[in-house]
Amino acid sequence: MDRPAKVRTDVAFLFLGETLLIPHLYPVLETLVERAPDLRVDVWVATSMHEALVAGWLGAQPGVRIRRAPGWRDLGVWEAGRNPPLPAKLPLLARLAPLLWRTRVVVSAEQTSLWIPALLPTRSRYVNILHGAGSMMNRDDRRRRAATLTIVAADRERAALAAHGVDPVAVAVTGYIKAGFRQRSRADLRFAQARPVLLYAPHWQRHRSSWWDWGAAAVARIVASGRYNLIFAPHQRLAEKAPEVRAFAGTLAGRGDVHVDLDSFAMVDGSYTAMADVYLGDTSSQVVEFLMRPRPCVFLDPRRVDWAGDASYDMWRAGEVVTDLDALLPALERAVAEHPRYVAAQRRFAAESLGDVTGVAPARAAEAVLAVLRR
């Protein structure tokens, strides 16, 4: 819809990044529009994929405009939800900043957009939704202090941000927003045989990941064992940092016991963490989503980290930690039988990291945005 140029926009939502951000941001937009239909809302999108996805879910809303961000990319025929090539973020933000001048509240789910209030004069109030979960999150970034309000899942994150200089009064605890995401793709996995489904989800940062040391060898051993149906769905950014992952994925194509996903929406919307029986990983936050329903976990530690007293590795209390690749298959074999001894730790870690997972978080977050708007 058109809007007179001098009429201020009430709230803008920024869909400018990877698809992994969408399930953390869209539920708040959806709920806000439902609860406050008279608001003037702009939805800024970086690509035609973002535009088609968000506009398709929202449908026609009288107060909502879908707006193409500077540098918007038309991707032509593009699979819905597949991670797209993005315009360069900093030039995009530099050109977007003046277009947001008359917007009262700006909501994002990534840190990069916080360069605007961190570096530029602005009349807008910025609300940032922390999209990660778990003990490995990076909180020591000055951009976080530029937000008027930061929305987090659990009290643990508010305390951690406060320890890094963020005013705890400027942090709202809502529960896990992604738990209220209703547009899951529900990937259809058709393995050739009925076997336990094992999800391997290595982290994308080399110093936190098992991929560079053990990844290919671990997958080879799992496949050779003939005991599991494997989902190999690493963090979206792993393929950027380790381009060889795509070639490796090609070697697994056509197998009836392996499902590889490097790009689709299913790898970010919670589909795989919901359907797997056993989790294999390192420090990826996907384990926190997996543990919304306690199940067996095994963690890979190729560098033999001295982690016992480090809260950053609290997720490793949720399962056996393997420090020798030869111990991987025996650990997987033990995982189901030994799971009861880890259930309490899993429940505690998930609760501390995610807070409420009943689906109420989007409503709480929408109310927090409205509270900023009313200031």
The two three-digit tokens of residue 235, written as one number: 């963090």
pLDDT at 256: 94
Residues 113, 267: contact at Cβ < 8 Å? no
Which among 274, 194, 196 has a CA at the least distance from the CA of 233? 274
Distances (CA, A) of 195 to 3, 58, 188, 287: 56, 38, 16, 21
pLDDT at 4: 61
pLDDT at 68: 98
pLDDT at 2: 61
Confidence of residue 203 (pLDDT cuts 50, 70, 90): very high
Distances (CA, A) of 12 to 15, 28, 133: 10, 12, 24
Three-state secondary-structure class, residue 161: helix
What's the pTM value of the predicted model, to 2 decimals? 0.91
pLDDT at 3: 62
Q: Round to whole Å and give the CA distance between 234 and 30.
A: 28
Distances (CA, A) of 51 to 27, 75, 78, 126: 16, 11, 12, 22
| Token pair 């799971």 in the structure block, residue | 339
Cβ of 20: how many Cβ atoms within 10 Å?
20
Distances (CA, A) of 122 to 90, 101, 233: 16, 6, 39
Three-state secondary-structure class, residue 65: strand
Put the strands of the sheet holding 9-15 in their side by side order: 64-73, 41-47, 9-15, 103-108, 125-129, 149-152, 171-173
Please compute the mean of the pLDDT values over residues 141-160 and round it to a whole number. 89
pLDDT in tens, 210-232: 999 999 999 999 999 999 999 99
Residues 342, 314: contact at Cβ < 8 Å? no
CATH number of 9-176+356-373: 3.40.50.2000
Distances (CA, A) of 117 to 24, 36, 109, 122, 124: 21, 26, 15, 6, 8
According to CATH, the topology of domain 197-354 is: Rossmann fold (3.40.50)
| Concatenated DSSP letters of 15-59 | E-S-GGGHHHHHHHHHHHHHH-TTS-EEEEEEEHHHHHHHHHHH-
| Mean pLDDT lowest among 129-133, 184-188, 254-258 | 184-188
The two three-digit tokens of residue 160, written as one number: 């951690």
pLDDT at 136 over 70: no
Number of residues in the chain: 375
Which among 26, 337, 353 has a CA at the least distance from the CA of 181? 26
pLDDT in tens, 173-182: 999 999 999 9
Confidence of residue 97 (pLDDT cuts 50, 70, 90): very high
pLDDT at 139 over 80: no
pLDDT in tens, 44-61: 999 999 999 999 999 999
Q: Round to whole Å and give the CA distance between 250 and 65.
A: 41
**Helices 361-373/22-35 angle, 10° precision:** 70
Q: Where are the domains of the chain?
A: 9-176+356-373, 197-354
Distance of CA 367 to the CA centre of its chain: 22
| Token pair 């095994």 in the structure block, residue | 298
pLDDT at 309: 84
Which among 149, 138, 108, 135 has a CA at the least distance from the CA of 21? 108
Confidence of residue 311 (pLDDT cuts 50, 70, 90): confident
Distances (CA, A) of 261 to 11, 191, 233, 245, 334: 34, 14, 5, 11, 27
Which among 143, 163, 137, 157 has a CA at the least distance from the CA of 285? 137
Please compute the mean of the pLDDT values over residues 151-168 and round it to a whole number. 91
pLDDT at 134: 58
The two three-digit tokens of residue 121, written as one number: 């004069």
Which among 196, 188, 203, 367 has a CA at the least distance from the CA of 285? 203
Task: Provide the total of helices (H) and of strands (E) in the chain, helices listed first.
Answer: 13, 13
Side chain identity, residue 29: L
pLDDT at 241 over 60: yes
